[in-house]
Structure 1
Amino acid sequence: MTTLVTGATGNTGRHVVAELVRRGERVRALTRNPAAAAGRFPAEVELVAGTHTAPEKLNAVLDGVSRLHITVTAGLAEVGPELVQRAIAAGVRRFTVLWGGWVGPVEQAVADSGVEWTRLEAQEFMSNTLTWAESIRAEGVVREPYDFPSALVHEADIAAVAAVALLDDGHAGRSYNLTGPESLTPRERIAILSRAIRRDIAFEPITREQAVHRLMAIGVSQADAEYVVGWYAAPSDSSTTVDETVERVTGRPARTFTQWVDEHAERFLGRG
Structure 2
Amino acid sequence: MILVTGATGTVGRLALERLPADCAVRVLARDPSRVAVPRKGVEVVRADYRDPASLGKALRGVHRALLVTSRVGGDDDVVFLRAARRAGVRRVTKLSAAAVVDVRAQDLITRWQRDCEAALTSSGLEWTLLRPRAFMSNVLSWASSVRTESLVRGLYGHAPNACVHPRDIADVAVLALTEDGHAGRAYTLTGPQPLSAVEQVEQLAEVLGRRLRFEEMEPPQARAALLRRHSGSMADALLDSALRQKAGSKAQVLDTVRAVTGGEPRSFRSWAQEHAGAFGPAREQATRSTKFSERGSPLTGHAVSL
Contact 2:7 2:35 in 1 (8 A): no
Matches within 5 A, 1:1-272: 2-21=1-20, 24-38=22-36, 40-75=37-72, 77-100=74-97, 101-102=99-100, 103-147=113-157, 148-218=159-229, 220-235=230-245, 239-269=250-280
Structure 1 138/118 Cα, relative in aligned 2: closer, same or farther at 3 Å? same
Query: Percent same amino acid among aligned pairs?
Result: 38
Report deviation, 1:229.
2.2
Question: TM-score, normalised to structure 1's length?
Answer: 0.92
Root mean square deviation, CA, Å: 2.0
Structure 1 257/271 Cα, relative in aligned 2: closer, same or farther at 3 Å? closer
Contact 2:168 2:257 in 1 (8 A): yes
Contact 2:49 2:79 in 1 (8 A): no
CA distance in 1, matches of 2:50, 2:193: 34
| Counterpart residue identity of residue 88, structure 2 | G
Report deviation, 1:77.
3.4
CA distance in 2, matches of 1:179, 1:141: 26
| Counterpart residue identity of residue 11, structure 2 | T
Structure 1 129/155 Cα, relative in aligned 2: closer, same or farther at 3 Å? same
Q: Deviations over 1:77-105 (max 9, x none)?
A: 32321210111110110111101543432
Contact 1:77 1:106 in 2 (8 A): no
Q: Secondary structure at the match of 1:254?
A: coil
CA distance in 1, matches of 2:250, 2:20: 30
Structure 1 61/239 Cα, relative in aligned 2: closer, same or farther at 3 Å? same
Contact 1:179 1:243 in 2 (8 A): yes
| Counterpart residue identity of residue 169, structure 2 | I
Gaps of 5+ in 2: 101-112, 284-306
Report deviation, 1:150.
0.6
Contact 1:78 1:105 in 2 (8 A): no
CA distance in 2, matches of 1:217, 1:258: 30
Contact 2:210 2:282 in 1 (8 A): no
Contact 1:77 1:105 in 2 (8 A): no
Gaps of 5+ in 1: none
Q: Which has the higher contact order (CA 8 A, sep 6+)?
A: 2
Contact 1:52 1:76 in 2 (8 A): no
CA distance in 2, matches of 1:107, 1:56: 23
Report deviation, 1:223.
0.9
Once the two structures are overlaid, the 10-residue window that deviates more, 93-102 or 2-11, is 93-102
Structure 1 14/30 Cα, relative in aligned 2: closer, same or farther at 3 Å? same
CA distance in 1, matches of 2:170, 2:249: 19
Contact 1:72 1:106 in 2 (8 A): no
Name which one, 1 or 2, has greater alpha-carbon Rg.
2
Q: Secondary structure at the match of 1:267?
A: helix
Once the two structures are overlaid, the 10-residue window that deviates more, 52-61 or 25-34, is 52-61
Contact 1:53 1:76 in 2 (8 A): no
Report deviation, 1:237.
5.7
Structure 1 66/153 Cα, relative in aligned 2: closer, same or farther at 3 Å? same
CA distance in 2, matches of 1:237, 1:159: 26
Q: Secondary structure at the match of 1:96?
A: strand
Contact 1:53 1:75 in 2 (8 A): no
Q: Deviations over 1:114-170 (max 9, x none)?
A: 221011111100111111111111101111111201101011111111111122111
